[in-house]
Amino acid sequence: MRRSYGLIVVVLLAACAPSITIEPASTVSPSPPPATDRLFGAIAGIDPGAPSVDVDLAQFFGLEDGIEAAREDGAIGPNEDLPNPFYVRNLHERRTLALAANATVVVLGYDAEGNTQMTPVSLEEFVLFWRTGPASGAWIDALYYWFSPPDGDVDRIEAQYIP
């Protein structure tokens, strides 16, 4: 399954966002550059046989750094502000990451009131989602994920909430 995400999708998502309850540590913070302690990007596909995940790499910026990055990229003009409190820079690089058999996966789930919350799922359930769709309406696909470590077998995948 191939996916392409752009600033237009992010703007549309912001306009349609449900009520959200997210821990402050998992919200808007700039992503590290590639080859640090974790990678950021959109999942382009998962190979359950390997197992591995293909990632379209990107960088995630909070508001202040995002304005500067968006202006550098020409996404907004010199006197414009971001329509959202973040900016995602596509690095135009795809990487295949091996998955550890015991990888921890955290997705965007829902609490009893329907608010979005970080929800752990098994690697098997996550891989199955990519092949057939979620087993229940208890969680949704995120646009972007964090992967750690960036080298070796990935032992943690965590969804990035996009407001």
Indicate whether 81 belongs to any domain: no
> Would you mind telling me the total number of residues written for the chain in this entry?
163
Q: What is the pTM of this model?
A: 0.73
Q: What is the pLDDT of residues 79-124, one digit of tens each?
A: 999 999 999 999 999 999 999 999 999 999 888 888 889 999 999 8
Indicate whether 52 belongs to any domain: yes
Indicate whether 117 belongs to any domain: yes
When pLDDT is averaged across residues 73-79 and rounded to a whole number, the result is 94
Indicate whether 47 belongs to any domain: yes
Indicate whether 78 belongs to any domain: no
Confidence (pLDDT) at 134: 60
- Measure CA 156 to chain center: 13
Residue 64: phi, psi to the nearest 5?
Answer: -65, -50
Q: How far is it, in rounded angstroms, from Cα 35 to Cα 137?
A: 34
Confidence (pLDDT) at 27: 42
Q: What is the pLDDT of residues 8-66, one digit of tens each?
A: 333 333 333 443 333 333 344 444 444 468 999 999 999 988 999 999 999 999 998 99
Q: How far is it, in rounded angstroms, from Cα 143 to Cα 152?
A: 23
Q: Could you list the residue range(s) of the whole structural domain that residue 137 is in?
A: 15-58+91-160
Q: How far is it, in rounded angstroms, from Cα 137 to Cα 153?
A: 29
Indicate whether 48 belongs to any domain: yes
Indicate whether 72 belongs to any domain: no
Confidence (pLDDT) at 18: 40
Indicate whether 4 belongs to any domain: no
DSSP state of 98: E
Q: How far is it, in rounded angstroms, from Cα 154 to Cα 41?
A: 14
Count of structural domains within the chain? 1
